[in-house]
Amino acid sequence: MHHFQYRGGELYAEDVPVSTLVAAYGTPLYIYSAATLRRHFAAFDSAFDGLPHLTCFSVKANSNLAVLRTLGAMGAGVDIVSGGELYRALAAGIDPAKIVYSGVGKRGNEIEEALNAGILMFNVESMGELERISRIAARLGKNANVSLRINPNVDPKTHPYISTGLKKNKFGLDMETSLAAYARAMELPGVTPVGIDCHIGSQLTSIEPFLEALDKILIFREKLVAMGISPRYLDLGGGLGIQYNEEEPPHPREFGQALTKALGDLPLTLVLEPGRVIVGNAGILVTEVVYTKKTPSKDFVIVDAAMNDLIRPSLYDSYHAISEVRPAERDTLNVDVVGPICESGDFLARDRELPAVAPGEYLAVYSAGAYGFTMSSNYNSRPRAAEVLVDGDTVTLARRRETYEDLVALER
């Protein structure tokens, strides 16, 4: 699953002791494993070898340039949701013809930047966006390939904050509105409808919601064909889950087999947008124990990583496994692992059985490669963590730690 393993009583990232990385770069520290990235991308991408397909890594999961370059070298495209992510993708050397632009609120300048870059297509989320893309493309004398994002009203059975395919969600267009939008796209200058897009949510632990959505999309495709529109691309988004605790998500191979059977020999290129399943377990967050604290009702382990570094436990009440960097035989305690931020919601774990660690020791927070650093902030004026990429015994400082000077560099 990943390349963070114990050797001789010490946690290693591939061939490098984590304690060596901490000594060089401090904490909090994000550590990514290149071997895990490659392994996960290959496992996912190869699952669809029976279909024409393009695997576009979801940049919002982890936008570090070193991560993007590693995946780009394996042939990955990317799924972006902002002009900043477009800038990052191009800086990392991603082929623009492998870039898909999603997201509900594309601004005019972002659309223009994407058109000038020559991206593969826009996943359009509203009639207003379709009209705006048309106006900008016509003004630039360019053509924009578009897919309309269909909201199939399928329950992905995941956390409500990361559910995107229900009719109450802000994403996409319902079926009837989508038909009208495709008809309008045929009339508009500067746009060509080339595909269908559908994304129902994230951290899915079953393929059944995907297949339910696909059934509806294939019926919808038949209606488009009857209108004289023959989509070349079918973008089914991402969302395949990973194991954080006791989840048992399907292997990408199972997903690939199911889609291959469902799509048969339809003349479609499948576009997939995995994020978490590629990078989630390829990263850990290492943090130092600053204090331990015992109250009449609770034991606390106070660490130097906080909700500004990893917000998922606070935002989603999500579980991340935590273990010692250098394990030792000792009693365990039921503790809350908390950070320094002045919020009761600042925790990495609650009611967790952990060894009785002492100040100065280090803990590793697992499954932190996705939506970890990308969702971090400077709340409480805390400089953001450093990121390193380990490839065998080679270490790359992928992002230096922010300084106090960085915190105020843009302010006047």
- CATH at residue 11: 2.40.37.10
pTM assigned to the model: 0.93
pLDDT tens, position by position, 339-371: 999 999 999 999 999 999 999 999 999 999 999
**Domain ends where: 220, 247, 279?**
279
Note whether 292 and 235 are same-domain residues.
Answer: no
Note whether 138 and 237 are same-domain residues.
Answer: yes
> Could you tell me which residue, 161 or 142, shows the higher pLDDT?
142
**Domain ends where: 250, 279, 308?**
279
Q: Is 312 annotated in some ligand binding site?
A: yes
What pLDDT does 271 receive?
96
Note whether 142 and 287 are same-domain residues.
Answer: no
Distance CA 136, CA 95 (A): 22
Residue numbers of the domain that contains 401 = 4-32+280-408
Question: Which runs of E-coded beta strand occur in 4-86?
Answer: 4-7, 10-13, 16-17, 29-33, 53-58, 77-80
Distance CA 41, CA 280 (A): 12
One-letter amino acid of 383: P
Note whether 228 and 200 are same-domain residues.
Answer: yes
What pLDDT does 163 receive?
43
Note whether 89 and 26 are same-domain residues.
Answer: no
**Domain ends where: 239, 256, 279?**
279
User: Mean pLDDT across the stretch 361-390?
Assistant: 98
What pLDDT does 251 receive?
86
Note whether 164 and 225 are same-domain residues.
Answer: yes
Lowest mean pLDDT among 73-87, 153-167, 168-182, 297-311: 153-167
Res. 201 pLDDT band, cuts 50 70 90: confident
Q: Is 274 annotated in some ligand binding site?
A: yes
User: Mean pLDDT across the stretch 48-55?
Assistant: 94
What pLDDT does 338 receive?
98
- pLDDT exceeds 80 at position 170: no
Q: Is 273 annotated in some ligand binding site?
A: yes
Note whether 381 and 271 are same-domain residues.
Answer: no
Note whether 117 and 257 are same-domain residues.
Answer: yes
What pLDDT does 202 receive?
67
Note whether 155 and 120 are same-domain residues.
Answer: yes
What pLDDT does 237 receive?
86
Are 313 and 307 in contact, with CB atoms under 8 Å apart? Answer: yes
- CATH at residue 39: 3.20.20.10
Q: Is 247 annotated in some ligand binding site?
A: no
Are 142 and 188 in contact, with CB atoms under 8 Å apart? Answer: no
Note whether 75 and 58 are same-domain residues.
Answer: yes
Are 37 and 279 in contact, with CB atoms under 8 Å apart? Answer: yes
Note whether 139 and 234 are same-domain residues.
Answer: yes
What pLDDT does 164 receive?
46
Distance CA 48, CA 55 (A): 9
Res. 333 pLDDT band, cuts 50 70 90: very high
Mean pLDDT over the full length of the chain: 92
- pLDDT exceeds 80 at position 171: no
- Catalytic positions, please? 342
User: Mean pLDDT across the stretch 191-205?
Assistant: 86
Tokens 């009837």 found at: 176
What pLDDT does 212 receive?
86
Note whether 263 and 309 are same-domain residues.
Answer: no
Res. 162 pLDDT band, cuts 50 70 90: very low
Domain count along the chain: 2
Question: Could you give the 3-state DSSP secondary structure of residue 385?
Answer: coil
Q: Is 343 annotated in some ligand binding site?
A: yes
